[in-house]
Amino acid sequence: MKTALPLFIITVLVTAAIAFIHGLTEERIKTNEHAAYTAALSALVIGIPDPVFSETHETGNRTGVVSYTLVTSGGEFAAVVINVRFMGDQGPASVAVAASTCGSVLGVKVTSHEETPGLGANAAGTDFLSQFTDKSGIFNVVRTANARIHTNDIIAVTAATNTSRAVADAVNEALRFASQLILKFYAEILAEG
Protein backbone atom coordinates (compact mmCIF):
# COMPACT_ATOMS: atom_id res chain seq x y z
CA MET A 1 0.00 0.00 0.00
CA LYS A 2 2.83 2.36 0.99
CA THR A 3 4.60 1.82 -2.32
CA ALA A 4 1.48 1.64 -4.51
CA LEU A 5 -0.11 4.85 -3.20
CA PRO A 6 2.48 7.28 -4.67
CA LEU A 7 2.21 5.50 -8.05
CA PHE A 8 -1.60 5.76 -7.91
CA ILE A 9 -1.54 9.48 -6.95
CA ILE A 10 0.99 10.33 -9.69
CA THR A 11 -1.01 8.38 -12.29
CA VAL A 12 -4.18 10.31 -11.30
CA LEU A 13 -2.33 13.64 -11.49
CA VAL A 14 -0.80 12.84 -14.90
CA THR A 15 -4.21 11.71 -16.22
CA ALA A 16 -5.76 14.97 -14.98
CA ALA A 17 -3.02 17.00 -16.70
CA ILE A 18 -3.55 15.10 -19.98
CA ALA A 19 -7.34 15.59 -19.73
CA PHE A 20 -6.82 19.34 -19.16
CA ILE A 21 -4.53 19.71 -22.21
CA HIS A 22 -6.90 17.56 -24.28
CA GLY A 23 -9.77 19.87 -23.34
CA LEU A 24 -7.70 22.90 -24.33
CA THR A 25 -6.61 21.52 -27.71
CA GLU A 26 -9.61 19.38 -28.75
CA GLU A 27 -11.45 22.09 -30.71
CA ARG A 28 -8.29 23.26 -32.44
CA ILE A 29 -7.32 19.71 -33.43
CA LYS A 30 -10.81 19.10 -34.87
CA THR A 31 -10.66 22.39 -36.79
CA ASN A 32 -7.18 21.52 -38.14
CA GLU A 33 -8.28 18.05 -39.23
CA HIS A 34 -11.40 19.38 -40.94
CA ALA A 35 -9.40 22.17 -42.63
CA ALA A 36 -6.78 19.66 -43.82
CA TYR A 37 -9.51 17.33 -45.14
CA THR A 38 -11.35 20.14 -46.95
CA ALA A 39 -8.09 21.53 -48.35
CA ALA A 40 -7.12 18.06 -49.61
CA LEU A 41 -10.52 17.59 -51.25
CA SER A 42 -10.54 21.12 -52.74
CA ALA A 43 -7.12 20.49 -54.27
CA LEU A 44 -8.55 17.42 -56.00
CA VAL A 45 -11.65 18.99 -57.54
CA ILE A 46 -9.90 21.79 -59.44
CA GLY A 47 -12.17 23.26 -62.07
CA ILE A 48 -15.36 22.93 -60.02
CA PRO A 49 -16.42 26.40 -58.83
CA ASP A 50 -17.27 26.80 -55.12
CA PRO A 51 -17.30 23.10 -54.26
CA VAL A 52 -19.41 22.04 -51.27
CA PHE A 53 -18.52 18.69 -49.71
CA SER A 54 -21.13 16.38 -48.20
CA GLU A 55 -20.55 14.25 -45.10
CA THR A 56 -18.17 11.38 -45.79
CA HIS A 57 -20.05 8.11 -46.42
CA GLU A 58 -18.28 4.98 -45.11
CA THR A 59 -18.73 1.80 -47.17
CA GLY A 60 -17.72 -0.50 -44.30
CA ASN A 61 -14.98 -2.13 -46.41
CA ARG A 62 -11.51 -2.60 -44.91
CA THR A 63 -9.78 -2.55 -48.29
CA GLY A 64 -10.85 -1.25 -51.67
CA VAL A 65 -13.30 1.67 -51.60
CA VAL A 66 -13.59 2.62 -47.93
CA SER A 67 -15.46 5.93 -48.17
CA TYR A 68 -16.72 8.57 -50.56
CA THR A 69 -17.75 12.23 -50.45
CA LEU A 70 -20.23 13.85 -52.82
CA VAL A 71 -19.35 17.28 -54.19
CA THR A 72 -21.96 19.81 -55.26
CA SER A 73 -21.52 23.12 -57.01
CA GLY A 74 -24.36 25.66 -57.17
CA GLY A 75 -26.71 23.03 -55.75
CA GLU A 76 -25.93 20.57 -58.58
CA PHE A 77 -24.15 17.22 -58.17
CA ALA A 78 -20.71 17.91 -59.68
CA ALA A 79 -18.23 15.24 -58.60
CA VAL A 80 -17.42 12.48 -56.16
CA VAL A 81 -14.22 11.93 -54.16
CA ILE A 82 -13.48 8.27 -53.46
CA ASN A 83 -11.01 6.96 -50.89
CA VAL A 84 -9.43 3.62 -51.76
CA ARG A 85 -7.26 1.60 -49.39
CA PHE A 86 -4.87 -0.75 -51.17
CA MET A 87 -1.63 -2.66 -50.72
CA GLY A 88 1.41 -0.80 -51.99
CA ASP A 89 4.78 -2.44 -52.61
CA GLN A 90 5.96 -1.92 -49.02
CA GLY A 91 2.69 -1.76 -47.06
CA PRO A 92 -0.85 -0.42 -46.90
CA ALA A 93 -1.59 2.83 -48.70
CA SER A 94 -4.59 5.05 -49.45
CA VAL A 95 -5.51 7.12 -52.44
CA ALA A 96 -8.23 9.77 -52.93
CA VAL A 97 -9.64 10.02 -56.45
CA ALA A 98 -11.95 12.82 -57.58
CA ALA A 99 -14.19 11.86 -60.52
CA SER A 100 -16.51 14.17 -62.43
CA THR A 101 -20.14 13.22 -63.19
CA CYS A 102 -19.02 12.12 -66.67
CA GLY A 103 -16.58 9.65 -65.10
CA SER A 104 -13.27 11.39 -65.87
CA VAL A 105 -10.55 11.89 -63.29
CA LEU A 106 -10.35 15.40 -61.82
CA GLY A 107 -7.46 14.69 -59.48
CA VAL A 108 -5.60 11.93 -57.62
CA LYS A 109 -3.79 12.18 -54.30
CA VAL A 110 -1.97 9.47 -52.36
CA THR A 111 -3.11 10.26 -48.81
CA SER A 112 -0.95 7.72 -46.96
CA HIS A 113 1.72 5.19 -47.86
CA GLU A 114 4.71 3.29 -46.51
CA GLU A 115 6.77 3.28 -49.71
CA THR A 116 10.53 3.81 -49.78
CA PRO A 117 11.55 7.49 -49.95
CA GLY A 118 13.26 8.23 -53.25
CA LEU A 119 11.81 5.09 -54.91
CA GLY A 120 8.18 3.97 -54.42
CA ALA A 121 7.33 7.22 -52.62
CA ASN A 122 7.83 9.04 -55.95
CA ALA A 123 4.55 7.44 -57.09
CA ALA A 124 2.83 9.84 -54.67
CA GLY A 125 4.34 12.80 -56.53
CA THR A 126 2.47 15.07 -58.92
CA ASP A 127 4.63 14.05 -61.92
CA PHE A 128 3.17 10.55 -61.80
CA LEU A 129 -0.35 11.33 -60.53
CA SER A 130 -1.02 14.14 -63.04
CA GLN A 131 -0.98 11.48 -65.80
CA PHE A 132 -4.47 10.37 -64.67
CA THR A 133 -6.06 13.83 -64.86
CA ASP A 134 -8.83 14.46 -67.41
CA LYS A 135 -8.89 10.81 -68.50
CA SER A 136 -11.52 8.14 -68.01
CA GLY A 137 -11.76 4.38 -68.50
CA ILE A 138 -9.24 1.78 -67.39
CA PHE A 139 -5.60 2.68 -66.84
CA ASN A 140 -2.69 0.46 -67.74
CA VAL A 141 0.89 0.95 -66.51
CA VAL A 142 3.81 0.81 -68.95
CA ARG A 143 7.50 0.89 -68.02
CA THR A 144 8.72 3.50 -70.50
CA ALA A 145 7.36 6.32 -72.64
CA ASN A 146 8.32 4.31 -75.77
CA ALA A 147 5.93 1.51 -74.72
CA ARG A 148 3.01 3.92 -74.54
CA ILE A 149 0.34 3.09 -77.11
CA HIS A 150 -2.98 4.32 -75.69
CA THR A 151 -3.78 7.59 -73.98
CA ASN A 152 -4.72 5.59 -70.89
CA ASP A 153 -1.21 4.08 -70.65
CA ILE A 154 0.45 5.49 -67.55
CA ILE A 155 4.27 5.64 -67.50
CA ALA A 156 5.55 3.97 -64.32
CA VAL A 157 7.88 5.74 -61.92
CA THR A 158 11.46 4.56 -62.54
CA ALA A 159 12.40 1.71 -60.16
CA ALA A 160 8.87 1.70 -58.71
CA THR A 161 6.79 -0.21 -61.26
CA ASN A 162 4.97 -2.27 -58.61
CA THR A 163 3.93 0.81 -56.64
CA SER A 164 2.86 2.55 -59.87
CA ARG A 165 0.70 -0.48 -60.80
CA ALA A 166 -0.85 -0.57 -57.31
CA VAL A 167 -1.78 3.13 -57.56
CA ALA A 168 -3.22 2.70 -61.07
CA ASP A 169 -5.27 -0.32 -59.91
CA ALA A 170 -6.62 1.75 -57.01
CA VAL A 171 -7.61 4.56 -59.41
CA ASN A 172 -9.34 1.99 -61.67
CA GLU A 173 -11.27 0.65 -58.67
CA ALA A 174 -12.27 4.19 -57.66
CA LEU A 175 -13.52 4.96 -61.19
CA ARG A 176 -15.55 1.72 -61.29
CA PHE A 177 -17.19 2.67 -58.01
CA ALA A 178 -17.74 6.26 -59.22
CA SER A 179 -19.50 5.09 -62.40
CA GLN A 180 -21.85 2.86 -60.35
CA LEU A 181 -22.56 5.72 -57.96
CA ILE A 182 -23.21 8.21 -60.77
CA LEU A 183 -25.51 5.73 -62.58
CA LYS A 184 -27.42 5.10 -59.35
CA PHE A 185 -27.75 8.85 -58.79
CA TYR A 186 -29.16 9.51 -62.27
CA ALA A 187 -31.41 6.42 -62.07
CA GLU A 188 -32.94 7.84 -58.88
CA ILE A 189 -33.53 11.21 -60.59
CA LEU A 190 -35.22 9.46 -63.55
CA ALA A 191 -37.34 7.35 -61.22
CA GLU A 192 -38.51 10.49 -59.42
CA GLY A 193 -39.68 11.73 -62.81
Partner 1 sequence: MTHPDSNRSHPCTKIIKNGIFTENPIFVQVLGMCPVLAITTSTLNGISMGAATTAVLTFSNIFISILRKAVPTAVRIPIFVVIIAGFVTIVEFLLRAYVPGVYSALGIYIPLIVVNCIILGRAENFASKHNPLRAAADGVGMGLGFAMALIIVGAFREILGSGTFLSGTPFMLTLPPGIPRTILIVLPPGGFLTLGFVMAIRKHILDKKKTVKVAENNEFTHCLSKCSSCK
**Residues in 118-147 at the binding interface with partner 1, rule: CB under 8 A:** 118-119
Q: How far is residue 155's CA from residue 36's CA, in Å, rounded to a whole number?
A: 30
Residue 53 and residue 136: Cα distance in Å, rounded? 22
CB of 74 to partner 1, least distance (A): 31
| Pairwise CA distance, residues 156 & 17, whole Å | 50
Residue 1 touching partner 1 (CB under 8 A):
no
Q: Hey, how many other C-beta atoms are within 10 angstroms of the C-beta on 46?
A: 11
Give SS3 for 106. strand
Q: Where are the beta strands (DSSP E) in 8-133?
A: 52-53, 57-58, 64-73, 76-87, 92-100, 105-112
Residues whose CB is less than 8 angstroms from the CB of residue 8 and which lie 6 or more positions away in sequence, other chains included: none
Residue 94 touching partner 1 (CB under 8 A)? no
CA distance linking residue 144 with residue 153, whole number of Å: 10
Based on the shown chain and the rule CB under 8 A, indicate whether residue 21 belongs to the binding site for partner 1: yes
Of the candidates 49, 60, 75, 117, which one interacts with partner 1 according to CB under 8 A?
117
Which of 22, 34, 57, 184 binds partner 1 (CB under 8 A)? It is: 22
What secondary structure letter does DSSP report for 137?
A: S
Residues 34-63 that bind partner 1 (CB under 8 A): 36
Count of chain residues binding partner 1 (CB under 8 A): 24
Q: How far is the CB of 32 from partner 1 (least distance, A)?
A: 5
Q: Which range of residues in 44-52, 81-89, 117-125, 163-171 is near partner 1 by CB under 8 A?
A: 117-125
Q: Based on CB atoms, which residue is closest to partner 1, 2 or 62? A: 2
Indicate whether 10 belongs to the interface with partner 1 (CB under 8 A).
yes
- Of 17-25, 69-77, 97-105, 132-140, the window that binds partner 1 (rule: CB under 8 A) is 17-25
User: Do you know the residue count of the chain?
Assistant: 193
Binding positions for partner 1, rule: CB under 8 A: 2-4, 6-7, 10-11, 14-15, 17-18, 21-22, 24-25, 28-29, 32-33, 36, 116-119
